[in-house]
A and B are shown apart, each in its own frame.
Chain A
Amino acid sequence: MTDDVLVLGGEKFTSRLIMGTGGAPSLEVLDQALEASGTELTTVAMRRLDPESRGSVLELLRVRGIKVLPNTAGCFTAGEAVLTARLAREALETDWVKLEVIADERTLLPDPIETFDAAERLVADGFTVLPYIGDDPALARRLQDAGCAAVMPLGAPIGSGLGIRNPHSIELIVEAATVPVILDAGIGTASDAALAMELGCDAVLLASAVTRAHRPGLMAAAMRQAVTAGRLARLAGRIPRRRYAEASSPARAS
């Protein structure tokens, strides 16, 4: 399986688990979780940290050789998101951005119109744009057509741990995808991550399910294996569902 790589924005990744850093009780616990997850790409909120500061999350990622994916968490308008992405590009010397434009604080659901507006502007500005969106197949298509490097539909609201509420929509997004599909938000436990991969997602992005677990390192290891298991199952091809039993050792050979 070593040849099964994720190609995202022209770069190759062996791990299909993308981590977020929010919610960890300490840097040490976060570091252990990142190591256990095997992640090669991790997103950080640009509005809550100073890239220059020593001993912070960014230094930890540098030491581990994990690529930084700056995100625009906390932005409510396309204007703020574009500004935040540009500041991140300047500070971190990366043109990758996880685009996140929130519609309201209660649900933290993404605002599709602001997100699309920002995505168009950022693509035109040369960014590698990974937009966080609702589980909307039409919007996903529009964003990939607009030049986004991936689409990142949610399974359920951020931090809710409700899993994948509408697997059918995720399947429709996957079916029509010309870019990688990354399930982002809503993962509560390992089976949710495995399901995302079985549905055909190319990767899973999660944070709270690991950072807020009782034992974050252990949950990170579980997620790593779940993502791998789900990916292998997808590639292997599952059997069709049937209403009635079918003997596994038939009397007549076919």
Chain B
Amino acid sequence: MSRTPPSGVQSGYDVVIVGGGVAGLAAAWRTARRGLSAAVIDPSPGGGATHASAGMLAPVSEVTYTEEPLLRLGLASLAAWPAFRAELEDETGADLDYRTEGTLEVARGADDMAVLDDLAAFERTLGLRVERLTGRECRSFEPMLSPSVRGGLLARDDAWVNPRRVVRALLAAFEKAGGMLVNERVTGIDAQGPGAPRVRLESGGAVTAGQVVVAAGSWSASLLPGLPVRPVKGEILRLRGPRGFLTRCVRGLVHGSPAYLVPRGDGEITLGATTQEMGYDARVTAGGVYELLRDARELVPGITELELAETTTGFRPGTPDNLPLIGPAGPPGVLAATGHGRNGVLLSPVTADAVAAFLTGDEVPPVARFCDPGRFSQ
């Protein structure tokens, strides 16, 4: 699947996408499907933030005061997911482990329940669908929940997917559509001068293209200086247990921090996630693992019997307002598709459609107006 270009300058692509995470690959696939010749450059596609991601498609339960534009963007992308998934599965024969049983957000004490009731009231004013459940009702949905769960909210419209399968399927679909994967590290982008835009490779070669899309996650600022994106470290765990241990995404506030458990069809459960501004410190800390296990155990005591299969660190591409950066990024022919924070998987369909529209000069989806990379300098 992987190819390395010969040394020297390669040319002839309509579009080069720098970064093969879920956002870059989704954009690449949609671009190739529109008949443009496209290459994705990434030393290990899907190896960045996507590899750590839990894959929640949960704009309803993750809604936050002050972040209504992000909600609108998330809802638009959630609505695009069923068709995106069906097309991707049809084309590749993959099973994305796409699940639609919703999110169950639980509270253990009266204080936390008051927070959830406040959230539910906010969600209803926004027209979102949430059901208030008693503790017993929560436990009838998810018998593994702690008896200390006092009540909860069920957001039936939330979904989730296995992000690692999504990346594999997107790669296959992209190559099937005629796209080229280049397993190389990009060291820079020449935005000026003859042949620009030109993408420089670590091996010494270079690739020119009609247009370049920078989808390098938190590393995008090193390619486009001044782009307001920064690494937000997250630690996440994967447990292996029996199938059906949990059937929904379970979330809850524990000691004021949000904890979540995301079950897969094969019995794996993803526990997340810490949030730290620690630059590119990729270490998994003892405290991080302890806190994730402690908080998840408060919600679902039985997890301590499961196998701790994996500890992972990822770097969410964070922006000042938590909205992504999608669109022309300054230099002619250079676009950004990054800054998705903790929402890269959710926002991939809408990102892909917006990038493909920018590249082909078509009408850009209306919600993409929230994502102009130049919005902070205005």
Residues of A with Cβ closer than 8 Å to B? 25-29, 31, 48-50, 52-57, 105-106, 159, 213-216
| A contact residues around B131 at 8 Å (CB) | none
**Number of B residues with CB within 8 Å of any CB on chain A:** 21
| B contact residues around A25 at 8 Å (CB) | 64-67, 322
The answer, yes or no, to whether B278 is at the interface (CB within 8 Å) is: yes
CA–CA, A52 to B277, complex, Å? 10
Residues of B with Cβ closer than 8 Å to A? 64-67, 122, 221, 228-231, 255-256, 276-279, 281, 318, 320-322
Contacts A50-B278, A53-B278, A105-B255 given; indicate if A31 touches B320 (C-beta within 8 A). Answer: yes
CA–CA, A57 to B122, complex, Å? 28
Q: For residue B228, which residue of chain A has the nearest CB?
A: A55
| A contact residues around B320 at 8 Å (CB) | 26-28, 31, 55
Q: Can you list 23 pairs linking A and B with CB atoms under 8 Å apart?
A: A25-B65, A25-B67, A25-B322, A26-B66, A26-B67, A27-B321, A28-B320, A28-B322, A48-B277, A49-B276, A49-B277, A50-B277, A50-B279, A50-B281, A55-B229, A56-B230, A56-B277, A213-B65, A214-B65, A214-B66, A215-B65, A215-B66, A216-B66
Chain B contact surface mostly = loop
Determine how close the nearest CB of chain A comes to the CB of B303; give it in whole angstroms: 19
Q: Are B321 and A54 interface neighbours, CB within 8 A?
A: no
Determine how close the nearest CB of chain A comes to the CB of B205; give it in whole angstroms: 29
Determine how close the nearest CB of chain A comes to the CB of B49; give it in whole angstroms: 16
CA–CA, A29 to B319, complex, Å? 12
Q: Are B66 and A29 interface neighbours, CB within 8 A?
A: yes
| A contact residues around B322 at 8 Å (CB) | 25-26, 28
- Chain A CB within 10 A, most for which of B66, B278, B281: B66
CA–CA, A46 to B279, complex, Å? 13
Determine how close the nearest CB of chain B comes to the CB of A46; give it in whole angstroms: 11
CA–CA, A216 to B231, complex, Å? 24
Q: How many A-B residue pairs have CB under 8 A?
A: 56
| B contact residues around A106 at 8 Å (CB) | 255
Determine how close the nearest CB of chain A comes to the CB of B282; give it in whole angstroms: 12
CA–CA, A214 to B279, complex, Å? 29
Q: For residue B278, which residue of chain A has the nearest CB?
A: A50
Determine how close the nearest CB of chain A comes to the CB of B341; give it in whole angstroms: 9
| 16 additional A-B residue pairs with CB within 8 Å, beyond A28-B322, A105-B255 | A25-B64, A26-B66, A26-B67, A26-B320, A26-B322, A27-B321, A29-B321, A53-B231, A53-B277, A54-B221, A55-B229, A56-B230, A56-B277, A159-B256, A213-B65, A214-B65
CA–CA, A26 to B228, complex, Å? 13
| A contact residues around B66 at 8 Å (CB) | 25-26, 29, 214-216
CA–CA, A105 to B257, complex, Å? 12
Contact partner of A57 (CB less than 8 A), chosen from B231, B277, B279, is B277
Determine how close the nearest CB of chain A comes to the CB of B66; give it in whole angstroms: 5
Determine how close the nearest CB of chain A comes to the CB of B320; give it in whole angstroms: 4
| A contact residues around B256 at 8 Å (CB) | 159
Q: Are A48 and B67 interface neighbours, CB within 8 A?
A: no
Determine how close the nearest CB of chain A comes to the CB of B27; give it in whole angstroms: 24
| B contact residues around A56 at 8 Å (CB) | 230, 277
Q: Are A48 and B276 interface neighbours, CB within 8 A?
A: yes
| B contact residues around A31 at 8 Å (CB) | 320
Q: For residue A30, which residue of chain B has the nearest CB?
A: B320
Q: For residue B256, which residue of chain A has the nearest CB?
A: A159
Contact partner of B279 (CB less than 8 A), chosen from A48, A52, A216, is A52
CA–CA, A50 to B228, complex, Å? 18
Determine how close the nearest CB of chain A comes to the CB of B324; give it in whole angstroms: 13
| A contact residues around B67 at 8 Å (CB) | 25-26
Determine how close the nearest CB of chain A comes to the CB of B55; give it in whole angstroms: 22
CA–CA, A33 to B38, complex, Å? 44
CA–CA, A50 to B221, complex, Å? 18
CA–CA, A17 to B318, complex, Å? 28
CA–CA, A216 to B276, complex, Å? 21
- Chain A CB within 10 A, most for which of B64, B277, B318: B277
CA–CA, A26 to B316, complex, Å? 13
Determine how close the nearest CB of chain A comes to the CB of B217; give it in whole angstroms: 14
Contacts A53-B231, A55-B230 given; indicate if A28 touches B279 (C-beta within 8 A). Answer: no
Determine how close the nearest CB of chain A comes to the CB of B77; give it in whole angstroms: 19
CA–CA, A54 to B278, complex, Å? 10
Q: For residue A27, which residue of chain B has the nearest CB?
A: B320
CA–CA, A247 to B279, complex, Å? 65
Q: For residue A23, which residue of chain B has the nearest CB?
A: B256
Q: For residue A33, which residue of chain B has the nearest CB?
A: B66
Q: For residue A54, which residue of chain B has the nearest CB?
A: B230
| B contact residues around A48 at 8 Å (CB) | 276-278
| B contact residues around A52 at 8 Å (CB) | 279
Determine how close the nearest CB of chain B comes to the CB of A204; give it in whole angstroms: 21
Determine how close the nearest CB of chain B comes to the CB of A22; give it in whole angstroms: 9
The 10 closest A-B pairs by CB, nearest first: A55-B230, A53-B279, A28-B321, A49-B277, A28-B320, A50-B279, A50-B278, A56-B277, A26-B322, A27-B320
| A contact residues around B278 at 8 Å (CB) | 48-50, 53
Q: For residue A56, which residue of chain B has the nearest CB?
A: B277
CA–CA, A92 to B122, complex, Å? 40
Determine how close the nearest CB of chain B comes to the CB of A235; give it in whole angstroms: 35
| A contact residues around B228 at 8 Å (CB) | 55
Determine how close the nearest CB of chain B comes to the CB of A206; give it in whole angstroms: 16
CA–CA, A153 to B36, complex, Å? 65
